């Protein structure tokens, strides 16, 4: 009988910054023309680069460069490739960011196709190109849902990530299949009129496929150009770090070199910023702290960019919720903190976190009027965001924000309705920006900023809270509100959303405190159960879809492998046939050849005998 030895746990540390750091270093090397071993000649210009980078990004370069081993190779590209199209692609290869304008997107697309640029999948161009070509003039009001917008969203929503990445889907690991893609928004449309102009030549967009740790320097673009860069909070981020600043992608920008000024790395910041831009509310970013003069200076200096101080990144609570490592362990605590009305009874240390949230949310709330933005721009931004969170797709299942968004958007045509399609909920960690946005949205739609108590949770403003407010209630039509029916019967002293959002502990405390009637108690427990189950069902469905998606990817991979193997087999067959023919030919020659040599050999053999 053998006794098992002590179990050995194997841990893996995966650096979230490493790949980006490498890429950044390569870009620096390229700019300094250090270690560049290839010169690419396009039209009349030459570009120094690293063959390994080119080869790893482009099929074309791969085939051309891997066959040569000599240093300082010069590759002259054919006329099909232009500087206009190649330069952004080269930059993309080194920065994972693609700068493009309406004018050059086609050219870039063409060159990318020609060069076989990976990671710039069809999804990017298939959406962008037609959008820009068709939608250039479709500057429509964004308020209210219009059909085309809806159908566009629908198509995006139904478009599986695998569909989006037909090109790279075979090569990319699932988590790569777009989660890195980011679209960021920049400001600069301060003066945009209500009818936003179509994306014009002056507006440059930026696809960012880099990891989160973008340097602010990389965002300095042409003057007056709009950038769309949506930093993501991708689920692919490693979860092994311990320090919050490291774990949380939103906080880890401290590792970047430009400490003074940071791009708002958190997706929250960018999306929010984007939204703010949509609303011409761009003065300052989401902040946990009141902006200092310095901040303001930065903001003004970097007009057109979203720069953000480190300290103004997403509040820790949100980040913790987001961070994979923390999501499970701490979500409860955070949940309780954020949702319990009597926060002090749960944990004092975290009050600050909560306050930060409060401040964030209140500051997020748009003040007044909305500014419409070009539908094309919105759709592009939406598409980018959507496409780049393939793994985060059912977000809105987080009970509160979700419902809130749904309700508010459905109810009053909120400008944020398009964010419904940024689906994060099923992911283990939800993206704070949606919470923020939903919160913002709700606040906006609600027409007031929530009180501290109400904002205990980012979304605990219950549309069906019998005390507080209720459009639903007043409408008498609460079909959309989950757990709607009994609301009119049961008067609760707290927002209904809290029931499902708070931790069990907080929930029990609240029940104790509120001394509910049996009727209320039953209702509350029922609501909680159903809400939890609703979320669970959403997660379950999301998992199913994910599973299908991954399996489809596997099928694609296997098919391509099979094709490759078949090709190899055919090739081998052909070469085998050749060898056979050569061999038989040789044999025939040998037998039929009365050459002197063979005669001599025969004679020699006779003599020996």
If the CB atoms of residues 394 and 449 are measured against DNA, the closer one turns out to be 394
Q: What is d(CA 519, CA 526) in angstroms, rounded to the nearest whole number?
A: 11
Place of tokens 């496929």: 209
If the CB atoms of residues 294 and 504 are measured against DNA, the closer one turns out to be 504
Q: How far is the CB of 539 from DNA (least distance, A)?
A: 5
Q: How far is the CB of 154 from DNA (least distance, A)?
A: 6
If the CB atoms of residues 383 and 528 are measured against DNA, the closer one turns out to be 528
Question: Applying CB under 7 A, does 534 fall inside the site for DNA?
Answer: yes
Residues whose CB is less than 8 angstroms from the CB of residue 217 and which lie 6 or more positions away in sequence, other chains included: 258
List of long-range contacts for 123-128, beta carbons under 8 Å, 24+ apart: 123/159, 123/163, 123/164, 123/165, 123/166, 123/178, 123/387, 124/98, 124/181, 124/207, 124/387, 127/156, 127/380, 127/383, 127/387, 128/100, 128/380, 128/383
Contact pattern for DNA over residues 396 through 425, marking x by CB under 7 A: -x-----x----------------------
Q: What is d(CA 130, CA 119) in angstroms, rounded to the nearest whole number?
A: 19
- The greatest distance separating any two alpha carbons of the chain, rounded to the nearest whole angstrom, comes to 123
Stretch that binds DNA, among 117-125, 361-369, 377-385, 534-542 (CB under 7 A): 534-542
Q: What is d(CA 202, CA 374) in angstroms, rounded to the nearest whole number?
A: 14
- Residue 224: name the closest of 193, 189, 199 by CA: 189
Stretch that binds DNA, among 71-79, 182-190, 259-267, 523-531 (CB under 7 A): 523-531
If the CB atoms of residues 185 and 339 are measured against DNA, the closer one turns out to be 339
Q: How far is the CB of 531 from DNA (least distance, A)?
A: 7
Judged by CB under 7 A, the residue of 443, 538, 546, 553 near DNA is 538
Of 145-164, which residues contact DNA (CB under 7 A)? 154, 157-158
If the CB atoms of residues 113 and 552 are measured against DNA, the closer one turns out to be 552
Place of tokens 């990004």: 57
Question: Applying CB under 7 A, does 528 fall inside the site for DNA?
Answer: yes
Question: Applying CB under 7 A, does 530 fall inside the site for DNA?
Answer: yes
Helices (H), 449-517: 471-475, 496-501, 504-514
Task: Tell me the chain's radius of gyration from C-alpha atoms.
Answer: 30
Judged by CB under 7 A, the residue of 59, 513, 539, 556 near DNA is 539
Contact pattern for DNA over residues 433 through 472, marking x by CB under 7 A: ----------------------------------------
For strand 204-208 and strand 97-101, is the pairing parallel, antiparallel, or unpaired?
A: antiparallel
If the CB atoms of residues 143 and 539 are measured against DNA, the closer one turns out to be 539
Helix (H, G, I), strand (E, B) or coil at 49: strand
Q: How far is the CB of 492 from DNA (least distance, A)?
A: 16
If the CB atoms of residues 253 and 503 are measured against DNA, the closer one turns out to be 503
Q: What is d(CA 431, CA 436) in angstroms, rounded to the nearest whole number?
A: 9
Q: What is d(CA 57, CA 172) in angstroms, rounded to the nearest whole number?
A: 12
Contact pattern for DNA over residues 469 through 508, marking x by CB under 7 A: ----------xx-xx--------------------x--x-
Q: How far is the CB of 570 from DNA (least distance, A)?
A: 38
If the CB atoms of residues 364 and 385 are measured against DNA, the closer one turns out to be 385
**Helices 375-387 and 147-158: crossing angle, nearest 10°?**
10
Stretch that binds DNA, among 207-215, 348-356, 377-385, 529-537 (CB under 7 A): 529-537
Residue 7 to residues 2, 148, 539: CA-CA distances in angstroms? 14, 58, 33
Q: How many residues bind DNA (CB under 7 A)?
A: 28
Q: How far is the CB of 363 from DNA (least distance, A)?
A: 29
If the CB atoms of residues 303 and 526 are measured against DNA, the closer one turns out to be 526
**Dihedral pair phi/psi, residue 91, rounded to 5°:** -65, -40
Question: Applying CB under 7 A, does 531 fall inside the site for DNA?
Answer: yes
Helix (H, G, I), strand (E, B) or coil at 274: helix
Q: How far is the CB of 520 from DNA (least distance, A)?
A: 15
- Could you give the count of Cα atoms lying within 13 Å of 278 in the half-sphere of its Cβ? 32
Question: Applying CB under 7 A, does 133 fall inside the site for DNA?
Answer: no
Task: Work out the angle at residue 152's Cα, subtended by the Cα atoms of residues 148 and 153, and round it to the nearest 5 degrees.
Answer: 120
Stretch that binds DNA, among 78-86, 205-213, 368-376, 536-544 (CB under 7 A): 536-544
Stretch that binds DNA, among 117-125, 184-192, 227-235, 535-543 (CB under 7 A): 535-543
Q: What is d(CA 138, CA 328) in angstroms, rounded to the nearest whole number?
A: 44
If the CB atoms of residues 21 and 541 are measured against DNA, the closer one turns out to be 541
- Residue 210: name the closest of 182, 246, 186 by CA: 182
If the CB atoms of residues 73 and 159 are measured against DNA, the closer one turns out to be 159
Of 249-288, which residues contact DNA (CB under 7 A)? none
Sites of contact with DNA (CB under 7 A): 154, 157-158, 394, 397, 403, 479-480, 482-483, 504, 507, 526, 528-534, 536-541, 543-544
């Amino acid at each position: 009988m053998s006794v098992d030895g002590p179990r050995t746990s194997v841990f893996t540390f995966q650096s979230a910054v490493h790949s980006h750091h490498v890429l950044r270093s390569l870009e620096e090397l390229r700019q300094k023309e250090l270690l560049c071993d290839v010169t690419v000649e396009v039209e009349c210009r030459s570009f120094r680069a690293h063959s390994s980078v080119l080869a790893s990004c482009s099929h074309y370069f791969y085939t051309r460069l891997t066959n040569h081993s000599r240093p300082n190779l010069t590759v002259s590209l054919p006329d099909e490739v232009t500087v206009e199209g190649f330069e952004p692609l080269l930059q993309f290869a080194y920065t994972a960011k693609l700068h493009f304008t309406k004018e050059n997107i086609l050219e870039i697309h063409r060159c990318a196709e020609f060069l076989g640029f990976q990671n710039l999948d069809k999804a990017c161009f298939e959406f962008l190109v037609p959008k820009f070509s068709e939608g250039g003039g479709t500057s429509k009001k964004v308020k209210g849902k219009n059909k085309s917008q809806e159908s566009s969203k629908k198509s995006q929503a139904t478009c599986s990530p695998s569909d989006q990445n037909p090109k790279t889907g075979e090569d990319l690991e699932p988590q790569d299949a777009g989660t890195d893609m980011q679209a960021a928004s920049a400001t600069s449309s301060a003066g945009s009129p209500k009818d936003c102009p179509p994306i014009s030549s002056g507006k440059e967009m930026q696809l960012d496929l880099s990891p989160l740790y973008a340097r602010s320097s990389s965002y300095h673009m042409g003057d007056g150009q709009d950038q769309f860069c949506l930093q993501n909070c991708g689920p692919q981020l490693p979860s092994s770090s311990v320090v919050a600043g490291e774990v949380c992608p939103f906080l880890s920008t401290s590792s970047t070199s430009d400490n003074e000024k940071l791009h708002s790395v958190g997706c929250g910041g960018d999306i929010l910023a984007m939204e703010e831009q949509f609303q011409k509310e761009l003065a300052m970013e989401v902040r946990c702290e009141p902006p200092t003069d310095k901040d303001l200076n930065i903001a003004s200096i970097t007009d057109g960019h979203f720069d953000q101080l480190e300290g103004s990144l997403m509040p820790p609570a949100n980040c913790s919720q987001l961070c994979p490592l923390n999501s499970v362990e701490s979500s409860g605590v955070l949940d309780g903190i954020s949702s319990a009305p009597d926060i002090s009874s749960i944990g004092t240390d975290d009050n600050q976190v909560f306050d930060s949230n409060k401040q964030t949310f209140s500051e997020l709330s748009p003040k007044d009027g909305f500014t419409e933005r070009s539908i094309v721009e919105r759709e592009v931004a939406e598409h980018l965001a959507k496409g780049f969170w393939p793994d985060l797709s059912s977000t809105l299942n987080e009970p509160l924000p979700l419902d809130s968004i749904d309700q508010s958007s459905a109810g009053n045509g909120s400008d944020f309705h398009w964010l419904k399609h940024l689906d994060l909920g099923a992911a283990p960690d939800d993206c704070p920006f949606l919470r923020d946005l939903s919160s913002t949205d709700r606040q906006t739609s609600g027409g007031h900023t929530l009180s501290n108590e109400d904002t205990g949770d980012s979304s605990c403003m219950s549309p069906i809270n019998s005390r507080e407010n209720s459009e639903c209630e007043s409408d008498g039509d609460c079909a959309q509100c989950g757990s709607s029916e009994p609301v009119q019967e049961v008067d609760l002293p707290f927002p209904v959303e809290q029931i499902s959002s708070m931790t069990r502990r907080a929930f029990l405390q609240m029940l104790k405190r509120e001394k509910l009637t049996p009727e209320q108690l039953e209702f509350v427990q029922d609501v909680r159960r159903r809400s939890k189950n609703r979320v669970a069902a959403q997660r379950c469905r999301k998992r199913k879809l994910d599973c299908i998606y991954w399996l489809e990817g596997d099928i694609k991979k296997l098919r391509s492998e099979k094709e490759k193997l078949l090709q190899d087999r055919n090739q081998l067959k052909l070469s085998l046939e050749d060898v056979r023919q050569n061999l038989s030919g040789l044999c025939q020659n040998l037998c039929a050849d009365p050459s002197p040599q063979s005669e001599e050999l025969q004679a020699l053999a006779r003599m020996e005998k």
